[in-house]
Amino acid sequence: MNQTSLRIGLAGLGRLGRRYAEYLARAVPRARLDAVCSPVADEIDWARETLGTPRLYADYAAMLADTELDAVFLITPTSLHAEQIEQALDAGKHVFCEKPLSLDVPTCLRTVEHAKRYPHLRAMVGFVRHFDASYRAAKSRIEEGGIGRPFMVYSQTADKLDPSGAFVKFAPTSGGLFLDCSVHDIDLARWLLGRPAARRVYAIGTTAMYPELKPMGDVDNGVAVCEFSDGSMAMFHASRTQAHGHDTHTDIVGTAGKLSVGRNPRLDRVEIADAHGVRSLSLPSFFERFEDAFLAQCRHFVDAVLDGQPFDLTLDDAAEATRIATALRQSQQTGQPVDLG
Ligand SMILES: NC(=O)c1ccc[n+]([C@@H]2O[C@H](COP(=O)([O-])OP(=O)(O)OC[C@H]3O[C@@H](n4cnc5c(N)ncnc54)[C@H](O)[C@@H]3O)[C@@H](O)[C@H]2O)c1
């Protein structure tokens, strides 16, 4: 694009949306946060008072009609993503959307097809771990042949136990544990293994602490295996109940070595020695772990759109992550392996 900055409207100012809004307003050099949109008046007030965002919309369609915007960021509930991406493209905007693209495969495929109508517009679904410095270093080392041929990934997303059980409220709309959490690990495994096609999955789960998830068919801890058609494999663990903190980590095993990312989920480099022994504090949530990566992801999107460079992730990758994650949920609910062709 022949302009120095990208004029952005952001929809969704919840838990994560506010962080994005702060980044786009203050920390992404070539971005201008010119508008925000939320149906919640308090959230709009926050943007006006905290960020001084000039144009404020209660209605998404009204923001899309703003001809002074080049792109939209969607940090809205997952159930809205696919339709809002399509509407943004119809309105002539580039679009960044938080993961996952959708909770069902036909909708993902519909959005992928929709985007093809607009080859001059750019659309990306964010999988933040691609922009984490340690995962990027691991990917580079693999590409340089540092571990030979990678053939196995173990990856887990494990959240700290929230005794309030607040996540249970979102369970009916989040798609369940595998779609909400393992979708990150699925996307990582495909990326680190060179994007092989999935052949078959098997998953099991348990309600270790939240039996109220059972009637919804959901679990608070799950384990899965995935076979890929080139013979490579992945194992996933997802949890809502870790006592110590947020514990996301990944191992990549190759014919000449192994890489591990994030194995020790320590908060910082401080080691505490006292009457209880020697220890570190743990990361409280995904945000502290991936704060820098969220910012890097915003910069990647803005720079790629302005400079006409490719994104690190495609909509097809996002659709494939949902396809595999929904198969994991099906397997966990039926007790049977699921063939993915
Ligand atoms: N990458 C990650 O690690 C990660 C972590 C957390 C959440 N997420 C994703 O981010 C998204 C948002 O999650 P959250 O935790 O911030 O949710 P949230 O419920 O806290 O926030 C959702 C926001 O969307 C707004 N909203 C609702 N309907 C809207 C509409 N029609 N138009 C505009 N805004 C609307 C709400 O007012 C709210 O501000 C989800 O899709 C989730 O999967 C990703």
Q: Are strands 94-98 and 71-74 parallel, antiparallel or unpaired?
A: parallel
Answer whether 39 contacts ligand 1 (Cβ < 6 A). Answer: yes
**CA-closest residue to ligand 1 atom 25:** 12
* DSSP structural state of residue 260: E
Same domain, 60 and 152: no
Q: Is the CB of 16 under 6 A from ligand 1?
A: yes
Range of the domain at 155: 132-289+321-339
Residue 18 C-alpha to ligand 1 middle, in angstroms?
Answer: 10
| Segment 217-260, tens digit of pLDDT | 999 999 999 999 999 999 999 999 999 999 999 999 999 999 99
CA distances from 148 to 144, 170, 207, 254, 257 (A): 9, 42, 39, 5, 7
**Do 110 and 137 sit in the same domain of this protein?**
no
Over residues 190-210, the pLDDT tens digits come to 999 999 999 999 999 999 999
| Confidence (pLDDT) at 173 | 83
Q: Do 117 and 138 belong to one domain? A: no
CATH number at residue 57: 3.40.50.720
Distance CA 110, CA 125 (A): 15
Ligand 1 mean position to 14 CA, how many Å? 6
Last residue of a domain, one of 126, 147, 181: 126
Tell whether 331 and 195 lie within a shared domain: yes
Neighbours of 327 (CB within 10 A): 24
Asked, for residue 299, whether it belongs to a domain, the answer is no
Q: Take residue 113 and report the two structure tokens written for it.
A: 């097809």
Whole-structure pTM value: 0.96
Does 189 lie in the same domain as 102? Answer: no
CA–CA separation, 121 and 93 (whole Å): 7
281 within domain boundaries:
yes
Same domain for 23 and 93?
A: yes
Task: Report, as an integer, the average pLDDT of 25-48.
Answer: 97
Helices (H), the chain: 17-26, 41-46, 60-64, 81-90, 105-116, 133-143, 167-174, 177, 183-192, 286-307, 315-334
| Domain tally, the chain | 2
The answer to whether residues 156 and 57 belong to one domain is no
One domain for residues 154 and 281: yes
312: Cβ contacts below 8 Å, ≥ 6 apart: 130, 131, 300
Are 81 and 147 in a shared domain?
A: no
40 in contact with ligand 1, CB cutoff 6 A: yes
Establish if 313 belongs to a structural domain: no
* Ligand 1 proximity of 17 Cβ (cutoff 6 Å): yes
Kindly state the tokens that stand for 68: 């002074």
Do 162 and 119 lie in one domain? The reply is no
- Give me the mean pLDDT over the 93-98 stretch: 98
Q: Which of 126, 148, 181 is the last residue of a domain?
A: 126
